[in-house]
Amino acid sequence: MKKFFRLLGKAKLGTTLFLTLLVTIWTIPTLGLIITSLRTKDEVDNSGWWTAVFNPLGQQWSLDAYAHVLDGVSNKGGMLEALVNTLVITIPATILPILIAANAAYAFTFLNFKGKEIYFSALVGLMVIPLQAALVPILNVMAWVNRNWHIHIAGDYPAAWLVHTAFALPLAIYIFRNYMLTLPVALIEAARVDGASYYQIFWRMIMPMSVPALASFAIFQFLWVWNDYLIAFIFVGEQKPVMTYKINLLLGQYGDGWLNVTAASFLSLLVPLAVFFSLQRFFVRGLTAGSVK
């Protein structure tokens, strides 16, 4: 059996068939989601979505589910409002950890200071702390800040930005430092000899050369924040609902709105797919850089 799989791995035909099968398996749920969202409620209640694949002309297609989820009157703002709220949370929560972590990774890679490896090891160790374990302490800190300094953070977008950024930094710094270790040190030293400052080297050399690592982490962070429900619900609240919260509301108390959930779920897929396909050429290169150094 091992010899068979070894030969199959060497054959281009075997690889193509295996990848085709894998893609098909991963695509089936999404295909079912799209087809279901485009069918009428009667068709959905009486037959499975796969019947529309074999008999597309015999189906009654409808955009009623999309019209309902986008309707801001009957749906209390609709998915468009939730889309805006999600973008307002996701974009800063993706950019902020990239900027902060890139600076920290630059320091851990090219600057010499006492205890550098100890600090980096402690920082990497923070990745094991689950977010759920820190929710109550973070809320207590925000309440203390509001009580003593009259700075109201909880219940607004900056609260989600801060929490997402804080918990993304350990992984971001780890990925960026591994990538920066692969950059040519001689080029950095030549820039220093020419009189370039640390931040000139950082912005004009390190950041442009680190685009693959930055893009790979940006995909991870964007998808994580976009699909988040817990942080947005606790720290921002239902007054500014995100798409995950709005999708949950569409389901209804007794689960009778699941047809609308399929349409809303497909709408929520569009932006992450656009981000992934626009940055995918950097993805593998950014993650694997420095792994064998």
Domain boundary among 62, 93, 112: 62
Residues 195 and 257 in one domain: yes
**Residue 22 resides in a domain:** yes
210-219 burial string, b = 16+ CB within 10 Å, else e?
bebbbbbbbb
Q: What percent of the chain has pLDDT over 70?
A: 88
CB of 58 closer than 8 Å to CB of 67: no
> What's the structural domain count of the chain?
2
Residues 258 and 113 in one domain: yes
Residues in the chain: 293
* 263/72 Cα distance (integer angstroms): 15
**Residue 266 resides in a domain:** yes
Nearest residue to 202 (alpha-carbon basis) of 65, 102, 67: 102
**Residue 58 resides in a domain:** yes
Position 1 pLDDT exceeds 70: no
Domain boundary among 29, 46, 62: 62
Instruction: For 134-190, write each residue's pLDDT tens digit.
Output: 888 998 898 888 888 888 888 889 999 999 999 999 999 998 998 888 888 888 888
CATH of the domain at 268: 1.10.3720.10
Helix 243-250, helix 258-288: angle, nearest 10: 150
Residues 26 and 69 in one domain: no
What pLDDT, on the 0 to 100 scale, is given for residue 10?
Answer: 57
Residues 56 and 68 in one domain: no
**Residue 265 resides in a domain:** yes
Residues 153 and 179 in one domain: yes
**In the chain, where does DSSP find H-type helix?**
2-10, 12-37, 41-46, 50-54, 64-70, 78-110, 116-125, 135-149, 157-180, 185-193, 198-201, 207-209, 211-226, 230-231, 243-250, 258-288
Nearest residue to 69 (alpha-carbon basis) of 45, 37, 35: 37
CB of 271 closer than 8 Å to CB of 226: yes
* 166/160 Cα distance (integer angstroms): 10
What pLDDT, on the 0 to 100 scale, is given for residue 276?
Answer: 81
Domain boundary among 15, 43, 62: 62
Residues 24 and 128 in one domain: no
Residues 203 and 284 in one domain: yes
* 171/259 Cα distance (integer angstroms): 37
When mean pLDDT is compared across 87-91, 213-217, 257-261, the lowest value belongs to 257-261
Question: Residue 253's domain spans which residues?
Answer: 63-288
What pLDDT, on the 0 to 100 scale, is given for residue 98?
Answer: 95
**Residue 48 resides in a domain:** yes
The sign of the torsion formed by the CA atoms of 196, 199, 201, 205 equals: negative
* 202/192 Cα distance (integer angstroms): 11
Nearest residue to 85 (alpha-carbon basis) of 244, 272, 250: 244
Burial class (CB in 10 A: 0-12, 13-18, 19+), 144: exposed
**Residue 293 resides in a domain:** no
Helix 2-10, helix 12-37: angle, nearest 10: 80
Residues 133 and 43 in one domain: no
Residues 70 and 195 in one domain: yes
**Residue 26 resides in a domain:** yes
Residues 165 and 20 in one domain: no
Position 215 pLDDT exceeds 80: yes
**Residue 12 resides in a domain:** yes
What pLDDT, on the 0 to 100 scale, is given for residue 255?
Answer: 67
Residues 45 and 127 in one domain: no
Residues 123 and 35 in one domain: no
- CA dihedral (16, 19, 20, 23) in degrees, to 10, reads -160
CB of 217 closer than 8 Å to CB of 175: yes
Position 290 pLDDT exceeds 70: no
The whole-number average pLDDT for the span 43-64 is: 82
**pTM greater than the 0.75 cutoff:** yes
